[in-house]
Structure 1
Amino acid sequence: MDISLQQVGYSYAKGTPFEKKALYVVNASIKSGSYTAVIGHTGSGKSTLLLHLNGLLKPTEGVVRIGDVSITSDTKAKELKMIRRHVGIVFQFPEHQLFEETVEKDIMFGPLNFGIPEEEARQRAHELIRLLGLPEDVAQKSPFDLSGGQMRRVAIAGVLAFKPSVLILDEPTAGLDPRGRKEIMELFNKLHNEEGLTTILVTHSMEDAARYADQILVMHEGRSVMAGTPEEVFGNAEQLKSFRLGLPRSVAFQRDVEKLFGKQFGTLALTEEQLARAIAEALKEEGER
């Protein structure tokens, strides 16, 4: 499902004394099946932007197109239900949205709300419990009796249960330790590849953006200011610096190593593994001289 934003602007409390402009001119194109990271400093408009991608907010100006549906300031609420069926959002700390008495019921809630038959919803719930690496016996437990990591997986299962074709992740690893962060990000990457999802990751982590995304959108003060592949975006350190953003650790270290060797590597090392290979190759070339 392709997504595009054309000259999108948004004001909170528009027409009141409390009006606040959050988005000015946002243009973006997200292809079906792509993995896009949205990065920007705090207050750049990332979170406001993502709320437009399933109709939780409607643009004050411009058009948001999701598949065949165009969303403008005049779009009626009932016209947005189909969008919400196809676009799932995993918010920060999604476990705070758990509320049912059992894990099974919590995961089933979304599909039942969209008219999925009860038995099919139950089958989906158990499939997702297995897919997300949870013990089968958690189905009849209260989600509030689980560990923090397990609660987060249950909340994610609830979003996946109605089989969205677009998955939006808003800082999905917030509050997790390094091991938990890696597990969750690898899980989303696996789902992206195996389920053919269009994935949109809103993140402060340049490392996650570099490792997982194939396209990056940079937000700055409510505007879309840069877009491209990770190599294109992170290859422009000076421009990123002007937007108060840094480089992934591997890229920053690569630049230091290149100064040491007195030459640039052939490609940008977006991950630690790529950096290790690049350094090994450079050392090999030095040894052969």
Structure 2
Amino acid sequence: MDISFQQVGYLYAKDSPFEKRALQNVTATIPSGSYTSIIGHTGSGKSTLLLHLNGLLKPSEGVVKIGDTLITSQTKGKQLKDIRHRVGIVFQFPEHQLFEETVEKDIMFGPLNFGVPKEIARDRAHELVRLLGLPEDVLQKSPFELSGGQMRRVAIAGVLAFKPSILVLDEPTAGLDPRGRKEIMELFHRLHETENLTTILVTHSMEDAARYSDRILVMHEGTSVMEGPPEEIFEQEEQLHSYRLGIPRSVHFQRKVENMIGQRFGRIALTEEMLAQELSVAIERKGERPC
């Protein structure tokens, strides 16, 4: 399902003395099947925007279109049931939402509430535990007996149990060490490809945005200011700097090397692997030059 924001605005505490504008005239498109990263400085409206994707918030102005469903300020809650079934959101520290006495029951809880038969919900729980790389014996354990990384995977399984076609990730690696962060990001990328998901990642990490996404949406002071593939977005360093954003470390190092050797690489190095390849090519070219 394609997703579009059409002149979307949002006011917290609308028509009260505490009214505060969070979004203004956001217009953007997220194609079906894409992996889109939403980046922006703190307070730019990223998290508010993603809460519109399953109707947790409804726009004060404009329209959010998800497939054939239109969400406006007048949309009723019962009209959002299908969207909430198809859009799964993994919030920061999702393990804080675990509450059942066993892992199996926690993963089954959501589908059962949506009317999925118990046996099917249980089969999904077992399938997801295997998919997420957890040993099957965790199903009968309390989620609070598990390690932090395992608890997070169980919480993610609870979201995936709905079989969403759109997966929204709000800083999903918050609080993890570098190894845990890489494992979780690789897991989401694998799920994106194997489950044919539309994935939307809200992140402060320019490295993750560059490595995993095929589209980037830049938010600044509550509105959308840039949109396109990462190669185009991260070429515009000065523009990003004006929005208080940086570039991936690999691109930053690339620019330093290019200035030192007086030549540009053939492409922007969005990852360390791409940087190593471009450095190898540059060294070969330099060695071919006549003395």
The bucket for the TM-score relative to the shorter chain is over 0.9
| Partner SS, residue 11 of structure 1 | strand
How far apart, in 2, do the equivalents of 1:261 and 1:121 lie?
59
How far apart, in 1, do the equivalents of 2:44 and 2:267 lie?
30
Residue in 1 that maps onto 2:44: 44
Residue in 2 that maps onto 1:191: 191
How far apart, in 1, do the equivalents of 2:164 and 2:74 lie?
25
What's the RMSD between the two structures over aligned residues?
0.4
Once the two structures are superposed, the pairs formed by residues 73-222 of structure 1 within 5 Å of their partners are 73-222=73-222
Q: Where do 5+ consecutive residues of structure 1 fail to align?
A: none
Which amino acid in the other structure matches residue 89 of structure 1? I
Residue in 1 that maps onto 2:223: 223
Residue in 2 that maps onto 1:34: 34
Residue in 2 that maps onto 1:65: 65
TM score, norm. by length of structure 1: 1.00
How far apart, in 1, do the equivalents of 2:154 and 2:81 lie?
23
Give per-residue Cα distances to partners, 1:71-129, cap 9 Å, x unaligned: 00000010001000000000000000001000000000111111110000000000000
User: Following TM superposition, where does structure 1 have runs of at least 4 consecutive aligned residues deviating by more than 4 angstroms?
Assistant: none
TM score, norm. by length of structure 2: 0.99
Which amino acid in the other structure matches residue 127 of structure 1? E
How far apart, in 1, do the equivalents of 2:113 and 2:65 lie?
24
Which amino acid in the other structure matches residue 249 of structure 1? R
Residue in 1 that maps onto 2:18: 18
Residue in 2 that maps onto 1:257: 257
Residue in 2 that maps onto 1:55: 55
| Partner SS, residue 21 of structure 2 | strand
Shift of residue 50 of structure 1? 0.3
How far apart, in 1, do the equivalents of 2:139 and 2:37 lie?
33
Residue in 1 that maps onto 2:288: 288
Between the two proteins, the alignment pairs up a number of residues equal to 289
Shift of residue 25 of structure 1? 1.2
How far apart, in 2, do the equivalents of 1:194 and 1:138 lie?
24
How far apart, in 2, do the equivalents of 1:120 and 1:98 lie?
21
Shift of residue 261 of structure 1? 1.1
